């Protein structure tokens, strides 16, 4: 039961309310009981004062020197039904008591005589002029008794007036208050906890609904979203955050799906060529060694193409997973670019494309040499591939401030403007028919799967640099790589990276 937030909320709510109610009840009870005692005391003082002034003003004239009988007489006239008056002289002798002088039955049913008074009360009154004391319940039903005594002088004679009053009424009132609280507190707690439980249930209902809905969302229906009742409240915000998460998941799922579909599509063509070619060879028995060589060459080319695609895919997969370990070494960028240009010169020559290379001198760099080489080769490879015969590919490598700029400019066929924003996307090829048929011829092992620029850009970025297509039209294309100049302390950097 405590595993439910509803139950826990209700318990907390009820607990806090119980604490507040108890504190409130205790404070109220304390306040009322003090107030009642104060009122009783005030009324005792008032009646003692009234009696004092009564015998002083009314009787003093009549009885110039008040005798015991005069005081008794005054008491008979001056009586209350709910309290008892007793008068003592300064020797603490009881002169008169309203219990004995009145026939009316006072409410006080307790020790109203001097004998029941605490012995030091009268002495205390004489010392300080007045005093209070509470006598505990002597008999059943009498209640505690509050006693007030004061000193008064009539015609020069000292009297001690003592007024006693039962606290039974007050006790009964407090008793009733206690009973009311004993009933009201548990009852209000019960009502509040029921209300709290239903309130918690109602407020948490959207959470339960969202939970049920979220439980039904899987890979197959990632496009579904949680209902957002109120955008501005906390639950609405939670639903929105969850929906955003679903959207991101959906996007990356879509990306993965597209990647898989594109990858299998790219792999299907060379595999189909290899299969078709080998089936033809196997089905014909009267083939010349020339025919076999030709077929094997095709199979070999497709094998190379497959290897390249698989390697590219593997590299991108590791890059995506953040598992590609960049192996840094110190080398000269101008040398790596120069070597790549030399390596591709024969390919360019085959296509009758002229390659020119210019550099502004030594450009030391700390980077992953194999990756940088691959990026340069990808760019050069594209420039040669998409440049028709008699064209040129200009490669320059210079330092501009804190950047190295590698520019590959060709006089090739260019990239249509609508395709330019997409050339760095995986598996994107501006024009499949054009790239494979017009420029390179079918089954060219150099024709990629549209991964070359995606990989080149990733390599630039992993080195905190950038790869951008600066210009591309029918007169050619210009790609520029910028790489930050790294701190280069070593005078003779190792030429070979750890690869
Ligand atoms: P691919 O393996 O097909 O060359 P890339 O990612 O290297 O894939 O290039 C993507 C597409 O960009 C290519 O298919 C091509 O259409 C276009 N492209 C890249 N470089 C050039 C260039 N120098 N000239 C013209 N088009 C290019």
CA–CA–CA angle 40, 45, 51 (5° rounding): 125
Contact partners, residue 498, CB within 8 Å, separation at least 6: 327, 329
pLDDT of residue 93: 83
- Work out which ligand 1 atom sits closest to the CA atom of 454: 6
Asked whether 344 lines ligand 1 (CB < 6 A), one says no
User: Over its length of 499 residues, how does the chain's per-residue pLDDT go in tens digits?
Assistant: 667 888 899 999 999 999 999 999 999 999 999 999 999 999 999 999 988 888 777 655 555 456 677 777 788 777 677 888 888 888 888 888 877 544 433 444 444 444 467 778 888 888 888 899 888 876 666 678 889 999 988 777 888 999 988 888 888 899 999 999 999 999 999 999 999 999 989 888 888 888 999 999 888 888 899 888 788 888 889 899 999 999 999 988 888 888 888 888 889 988 999 999 999 888 988 888 898 899 999 999 999 989 988 998 888 888 888 888 999 999 999 999 999 999 999 999 999 999 999 999 899 999 999 999 999 999 999 999 999 999 999 999 999 999 999 999 999 999 999 999 999 998 888 765 444 434 444 434 445 788 999 999 999 999 999 999 999 999 999 999 999 997 654 444 333 333 3
Residue 72 CA to ligand 1 centre (angstroms): 129
pLDDT of residue 95: 83
pLDDT of residue 80: 74
Asked whether 382 lines ligand 1 (CB < 6 A), one says yes
Closest C-alpha residue for ligand 1 atom 8: 450
Residue 382 CA to ligand 1 centre (angstroms): 6
- Work out which ligand 1 atom sits closest to the CA atom of 429: 14
pLDDT of residue 115: 46
| Residue to mutate, 269, 392, 453, 471, ligand 1, most ligand atoms under 8 Å from C-beta | 453
Residue 437 CA to ligand 1 centre (angstroms): 14
Residue 348's nearest CA partner among 313, 307, 389, 314 is 389
pLDDT of residue 35: 94
Q: How far is Cα 355 from Cα 410, in angstroms, rounded to an integer?
A: 9
Closest C-alpha residue for ligand 1 atom 14: 429
pLDDT of residue 171: 87
Element of type H or E holding 410 = strand 403-410
CB 226 within 8 A of CB 210: yes
**DSSP code for 397:** E
Element of type H or E holding 237 = helix 234-283
Element counts in the chain: helices (H) and strands (E): 12, 12
Residue 297 CA to ligand 1 centre (angstroms): 25
pLDDT of residue 65: 55
E-strand stretches of 260-353: 329-332
């Amino acid at each position: 039961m405590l595993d439910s937030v509803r139950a826990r909320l209700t318990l907390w709510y009820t607990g806090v309310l119980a604490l507040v109610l108890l504190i409130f009840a205790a404070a109220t009870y304390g306040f009322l009981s003090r107030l009642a005692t104060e009122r009783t005391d005030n009324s005792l003082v008032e009646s003692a004062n009234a009696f004092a002034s009564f015998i002083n003003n009314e009787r003093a004239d009549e009885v110039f020197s008040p005798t015991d009988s005069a005081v008794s007489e005054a008491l008979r006239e001056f009586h209350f039904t709910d309290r008892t008056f007793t008068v003592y002289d300064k020797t603490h002798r009881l002169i008169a008591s309203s219990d004995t002088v009145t026939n009316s039955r006072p409410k006080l049913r307790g020790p109203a005589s001097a004998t029941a008074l605490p012995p030091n009360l009268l002495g205390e009154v004489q010392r300080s002029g007045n005093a209070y004391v509470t006598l505990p319940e002597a008999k059943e039903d009498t209640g505690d008794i509050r006693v007030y005594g004061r000193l008064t002088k009539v015609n020069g004679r000292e009297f001690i007036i003592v007024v006693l009053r039962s606290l039974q009424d007050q006790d009964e009132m407090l008793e009733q208050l206690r009973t009311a609280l004993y009933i009201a507190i548990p009852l209000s707690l019960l009502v509040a906890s029921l209300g709290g439980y239903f309130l918690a249930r109602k407020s948490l209902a959207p959470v339960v609904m969202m939970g049920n809905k979220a439980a039904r969302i899987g890979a197959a229906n990632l496009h579904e979203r949680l209902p957002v009742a109120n955008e501005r409240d906390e639950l609405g915000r939670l639903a929105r955050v969850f929906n955003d998460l679903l959207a991101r998941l959906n996007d990356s799922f879509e990306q993965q799906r597209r990647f898989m579909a594109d990858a299998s599509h790219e792999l299907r063509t060379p595999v189909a060529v290899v299969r078709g070619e080998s089936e033809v060879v196997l089905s014909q028995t009267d083939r010349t060694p020339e025919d076999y060589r030709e077929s094997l060459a095709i199979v070999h080319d497709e094998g190379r193409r497959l290897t390249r695609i698989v390697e590219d895919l593997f590299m991108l997969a590791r890059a995506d997973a953040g598992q590609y370990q960049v192996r840094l070494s110190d080398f000269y960028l101008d040398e790596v670019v120069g070597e790549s240009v030399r390596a591709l010169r024969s390919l360019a020559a085959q296509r009758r494309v002229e390659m020119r290379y210019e550099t502004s001198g030594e450009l030391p760099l700390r980077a992953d040499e194999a990756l940088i080489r691959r990026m340069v080769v990808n760019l050069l490879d594209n420039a040669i591939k998409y440049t028709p015969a008699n064209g040129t590919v200009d490669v320059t490598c210079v330092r501009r401030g804190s950047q190295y700029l590698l520019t590959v400019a060709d006089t090739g066929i260019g990239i249509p403007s609508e395709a330019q924003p997409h050339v760095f996307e995986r598996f994107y090829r501006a024009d499949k028919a054009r790239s494979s048929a017009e420029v390179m011829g079918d089954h060219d092992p150099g024709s990629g799967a549209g991964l070359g620029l995606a990989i080149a850009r990733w390599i630039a970025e992993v080195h905190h640099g950038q790869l951008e297509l600066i210009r591309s039209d029918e007169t050619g294309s210009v790609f520029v790589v910028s790489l930050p100049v790294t701190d280069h302390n070593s005078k003779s950097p190792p030429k070979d990276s750890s690869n």
